[in-house]
Amino acid sequence: MNVAVVGATGVVGEAMLSILEKRQFPINNIYPLASSRSAGNSVLFKGRSVEVGRLDEFDFSTTDLGLFSAGGSISAEYAPKAVAAGCLVVDNTSYFRNDPEIPLIVPEVNLHALDKHQGIIANPNCSTIQMVVALKPIYDAVGIHRINVATYQAVSGAGRRAIEELAGQTAALLNGKKPTIDVMSKQIAFNVIPEIDSFQDNGYTREEMKMVWETRKILEDETLMINPTTVRVPVFYGHSEAVHLETRDAVTAAEVRQLLSVAPGVTVIDDHTPGGYPTAVTEAAKQDGVFVGRIREDISCDRGINLWIVSDNIRKGAALNSIQISEALLDRM
């Protein structure tokens, strides 16, 4: 199979190349692509240096699969062109996620929806992915009426410049200097920022509304009540989520623990001892799974369950999920 990676020099694009190699995805030719600004640089793939090509000059008829992660406007322009040339597209941007004709896929959750694709498959938001992987077994067993979720999202979700900004601000502050603020709306080092993406008319941010729209679409349930607060935290890799559920039928914490212990893609770390839970840095970063702990019954309401969910936002939250979708497409060929 010939594979193009659009946005190959970005954080997610680099992870895609690494994961394709690690999972031994069957590739005849790899085409890393980027804007004219980044074209001409090289990326490593299977131990060799591969030159990055210009997206605006690439002939998609030469490739079978395009993995897109270069921004919504790029996907809007080039994904339809790729499909018209006979290339399948897995898009990691938000551009196609709300289109009712385009499947939004998390392989552990709704792989059946892949059957209706017409050339483009959308990859969900990073925070949505890890949450629905953990919630799907509970949803299937007892139903879910309401989800309250607060996210604690790593700066890598905002790209390489955000990673560099956190590192630079931290170094400046530790050396008694004033930090430079460029990418984030406020200082991110030693701080938390309750704003990710633009504010909407209802007072929620677009990142928060993505979790609402996408969770309902993936679980195929427009009645789900979802109340998110998304927060940027001074962590480089790995998103964390405090999730509070109201289920339709009663369920105990022990039953939830058992459901999750056999769920695909989920690792339960839930010892009621100091450190007996997963964190973004110690368990999730550079790993492929979704880790769940702090499982307990909510003392404030009936049929309430609380969870703590962490995962690597660049891997399972973006690159890995896209490649798992691609593997499922390959199985259907």
Cα–Cα distance for residue pair 55/42, rounded to 1 Å? 14
Catalytic residue among 87, 117, 239, 272: 239
Residues 21-48 have a mean pLDDT of 93
Angle at 95 between CA 151 and CA 236, to 5 degrees: 35
Q: Which CATH class is domain 128-313?
A: alpha beta
N-to-C CA span, the chain: 11
332 pLDDT above the threshold of 90:
no
> Mapping DSSP to helix (H, G, I), strand (E, B) and coil, where does residue 90 land?
strand
pLDDT value of residue 164: 98
Band (pLDDT 50/70/90 cuts) for residue 333 is confident
Question: Whole-number mean pLDDT of the chain?
Answer: 97
CA distances from residue 210 to 101, 142, 215, 291, 317 in whole angstroms, order as listed: 17, 24, 8, 22, 14
pLDDT value of residue 37: 86
36 pLDDT above the threshold of 90:
no
Contact 25, 327 (CB under 8 A): yes
Is 126 a residue of the active site? yes
328 pLDDT above the threshold of 90:
yes
Radius of gyration, alpha carbons of the chain: 20
Residue-wise pLDDT tens digits, 4-26: 999 999 999 999 999 999 999 99
Take residue 112 and report the two structure tokens written for it.
């059946």
pLDDT value of residue 166: 98
Q: Which CATH class is domain 2-124+318-331?
A: alpha beta
DSSP state of 299: T
* HEC string for 6-68: ECCCCHHHHHHHHHHHHCCCCCCEEEEEECCCCCCCEEEECCEEEECEEHHHCCHHHCCEEEE
Residue-wise pLDDT tens digits, 194-246: 999 999 999 999 999 999 999 999 999 999 999 999 999 999 999 999 999 99
Take residue 267 and report the two structure tokens written for it.
């690792």
Residue-wise pLDDT tens digits, 109-146: 999 999 999 999 999 999 999 999 999 999 999 999 99
Within the chain, all domains assigned CATH 3.30.360.10 are found at 128-313
Catalytic residue among 87, 112, 117, 126: 126
pLDDT value of residue 270: 98
Portion of the chain with pLDDT greater than 70, in percent: 100
Residues 66-84 have a mean pLDDT of 96
Outline where 233-288 has alpha helix (H): 253-261
Within the chain, all domains assigned CATH 3.40.50.720 are found at 2-124+318-331
Portion of the chain with pLDDT greater than 90, in percent: 98
Cα–Cα distance for residue pair 39/190, rounded to 1 Å? 36
